[in-house]
Chain A
């Protein structure tokens, strides 16, 4: 429901600047994902938006209203923490109702909102339990439920899936995606270091690096036209291949990027690179070949699951020319 604008937002701890001037416009009802390696400042940025950390410099606007000095509870935000952060001594119901109880809401309305949120997340049978009697996935649902009950303008997620095991992570991811569809008006900001989560959930992704915005765009934009080597390497799994030196010089650039799925095995005559298969990974639907072509790292090539090649095979490879990413000496695209 809220449009969020960051204007040259900075954060320092003493002499150390961790957020180095961020300009960002998050649209109403958008699902924005902050992604980046650890230490890039993505969690700090989320905490600045939440109000748990004070902004050192710059402006933060919710619906054109400056909220730098507004306390978290008055910003209309709700936050889901990585470690769930449930109140251990309160039952699930009280955990979810606590915020509304503090704001002295009508008990009937509290009850109605808690029940509705619990039904949405299918935790209505757990309302009388204590957090310690729940599994990890259930706890995270309660935490999400607590956020829903607050009926926020902005939902903030701080790596909510990091503590869950792989299977549960996929389920909960789906849950959050569904929540996003159900609550169309609510702006959601989601922090993760997992680019798969970023790609699958986001309307737009903001890639952060070292306290600065590296690139903002839809998942497809970032995937298809990354505007730096960093973004190109960060988005996509397995990583984009990077070739330097003479390999890159042949295409008039300093660094040549090509995704594994944009390289094909061809006959000798049409091959641009030649090399030996040193390793193969069969994932069922995909088969990844690691080919030693004399570059710094082996080239990863994606093929269909049934098209594996034996280790040691000598093969020729050719990239799809339109899908080449060429970067200059400043790591920006040419």
Chain B
């Protein structure tokens, strides 16, 4: 019994420690976002001041609101594009036998191994060639390229695990591949789609390097760039308060999204279709 208590205590202490280490930076950001003036530069653990001035400052900037809109548009379209292509691609990769399938899968995976900086200049040329520079499509294109390998891989794995007989039953019922994908597989793939879609959204939402490189005007900026380029009253001042307030503001939508969709991520959706 004593041993049990000791072990449990140790376990929870470890949990608390890990949570503190993981959450502290975010906690500190939230604290800072409510402070103004010199209070920001006084390290404190407990809240000392409470002021919404930073939030007012951020929200009163039209450019920032515009950036949030840009980010929403770009991340949303990226997710839609990526899922559409990934679902169809993964059906082929998981279910259609063709020569070079393994090689193709490996190539797709290899694409995701290049660091962003390695493809930056190439991608820049591409964006210019298509005349997409300083437009949302430049970012949608590059984010989709970087999201697809992961999305395709995850969905291919899921698709492979779906029972073949269900597909064959649909074929006998007269379903075309498109009907199989949309009416039979898609409802079963929801959990995987939500998960990968969410990750793609977060990736696009937080991306910085491409967003900085492919946009120039303030109206085309996405949130991470807008936050980094927030300027203070003078050249020498870094407006930590507003930066933190802006960061908190753009993190909230993500948290809300995760909270909404975590209920949809239901395991065992395929239960009952085949034996077991």
Residues on A lying within 8 angstroms of B by beta carbon are 50, 52, 71-74, 77-79, 81-89, 98-99, 102-103, 130-134, 136, 139, 146, 150, 163
Q: Which residues of A contact B163 (CB under 8 A)?
A: 83, 85
> Chain B interface residue count: which class?
20 to 34
Q: Which residues of A contact B172 (CB under 8 A)?
A: 50, 52, 72-73, 77-79, 99, 150
Residues on B lying within 8 angstroms of A by beta carbon are 163, 165-166, 168-175, 179, 184, 187-188, 269-275
Partner of A73, one of B165, B173, B270, B273: B173
Q: Kindly list the 3 A-B residue pairs having the minimum CB-CB distance in the complex, ordered from nearest.
A: A132-B272, A73-B174, A88-B273
User: Chain B nearest CB: distance from A153 CB in Å?
Assistant: 13
A139–B166 Cα distance when bound, in Å, is 13
Q: Which residues of B contact A131 (CB under 8 A)?
A: 272-273
Q: Which residues of B contact A133 (CB under 8 A)?
A: 272
25 residue pairs of the A-B complex, CB under 8 angstroms, read: A52-B172, A72-B174, A73-B171, A73-B172, A77-B172, A81-B168, A81-B169, A84-B165, A84-B275, A85-B169, A85-B274, A86-B166, A86-B169, A86-B274, A87-B166, A87-B169, A88-B166, A98-B170, A102-B175, A102-B179, A103-B174, A130-B272, A131-B273, A150-B173, A163-B275
With contacts A88-B269, A88-B271, A132-B271 known, what are 10 further pairs, Cβ within 8 A? A71-B171, A73-B171, A84-B274, A84-B275, A85-B168, A85-B273, A87-B184, A99-B172, A102-B173, A132-B272
A78–B166 Cα distance when bound, in Å, is 14
Q: Which residues of A contact B173 (CB under 8 A)?
A: 73, 98-99, 102, 146, 150
Q: Are B174 and A83 in contact (CB under 8 A)?
A: no
A83–B169 Cα distance when bound, in Å, is 11
Q: Are A89 and B187 in contact (CB under 8 A)?
A: yes
User: Chain A nearest CB: distance from B269 CB in Å?
Assistant: 7
User: Chain A nearest CB: distance from B115 CB in Å?
Assistant: 40
Chain A residue at smallest Cβ distance from B270? A88
Q: Which residues of A contact B175 (CB under 8 A)?
A: 73, 98, 102
Q: Which residues of A contact B179 (CB under 8 A)?
A: 102
A163–B273 Cα distance when bound, in Å, is 13
Chain B residue at smallest Cβ distance from A72? B172
Q: Which residues of B contact A103 (CB under 8 A)?
A: 174
A228–B180 Cα distance when bound, in Å, is 45
A44–B184 Cα distance when bound, in Å, is 24
Given known pairs A50-B172, A73-B171, the reply for A88 and B272 (CB within 8 Å) is yes
A163–B275 Cα distance when bound, in Å, is 7
Given known pairs A72-B172, A73-B171, the reply for A83 and B165 (CB within 8 Å) is yes
A73–B171 Cα distance when bound, in Å, is 7
A73–B168 Cα distance when bound, in Å, is 11
Chain B residue at smallest Cβ distance from A98? B173
Q: Which residues of A contact B272 (CB under 8 A)?
A: 86, 88, 130-134, 139
A89–B269 Cα distance when bound, in Å, is 7
